[in-house]
């Protein structure tokens, strides 16, 4: 199976293109990325994770974080290792980079948040649409989507941070 036809990547497409729920984009791709054998920060999925994170920051007004993260995403897409060439068959990486560069130009110019659809093949779009009925999509541009990180239970993350602090003492 092509990596883009994995159920979690298809869910990512729905969240990205339908209601721009970039927080969920990050969540489903991080789960997918961690499933990869010997996953590393060089894996192509990290470019998509960074892209979603950068767009989430920008929409919330964190332009410094957005700019930094989107630049990292562009670098990941440009430096995609040769063994991941198949990732470029279903998504136009060149067009994706152009869109991200356009976002950066808008951020630097102080312009409003801008969104774009993923430049994907028609077949990938058809497959992603099949997942749409299985996903609960919050209203696009709602506070629930824009400020999603503030509405989730973070106790497990806080506990991990505390454990890490204890271990470094």
Where exactly are the structural domains of the chain? 3-167
Query: For residue 128, what pLDDT is reported?
Result: 94
Query: For residue 160, what pLDDT is reported?
Result: 61
Q: Under 8 Å CB-to-CB from 79, ≥6 apart: which residues? A: 42
The whole-model pTM stands at 0.82
Instruction: Give the three-class secondary structure for 91.
Output: strand
Query: For residue 41, what pLDDT is reported?
Result: 85
Query: For residue 163, what pLDDT is reported?
Result: 72
What are the residue ranges in the chain where pLDDT is below 50? 139, 153-154
Q: How many CB atoms lie within 10 A of CB 120?
A: 20
Q: Would you say 105 and 70 are in contact if contact means Cβ atoms under 8 Å apart?
A: no
Class level of CATH domain 3-167: mainly alpha
């Amino acid at each position: 199976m092509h990596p883009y036809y994995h159920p979690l990547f298809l869910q990512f497409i729905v969240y990205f293109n339908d209601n721009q729920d970039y927080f969920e984009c990050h969540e489903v791709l991080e789960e997918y990325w961690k499933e990869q054998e010997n996953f590393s920060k060089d894996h192509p999925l990290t470019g998509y994770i960074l892209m979603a994170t950068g767009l989430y920051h920008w929409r919330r007004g964190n332009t410094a974080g957005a700019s930094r993260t989107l630049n990292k995403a562009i670098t990941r897409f440009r430096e995609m290792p040769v063994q991941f060439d198949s990732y470029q068959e279903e998504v136009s990486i060149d067009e994706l980079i152009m869109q991200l560069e356009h976002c950066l130009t808008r951020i630097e110019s102080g312009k409003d948040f801008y969104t774009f659809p993923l430049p994907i093949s028609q077949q990938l779009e058809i497959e992603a649409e099949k997942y749409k009925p299985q996903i609960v999509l919050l209203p696009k541009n709602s506070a629930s989507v824009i400020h999603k990180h503030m509405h989730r239970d973070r106790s497990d993350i806080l506990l991990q941070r505390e454990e890490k602090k204890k271990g470094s003492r």
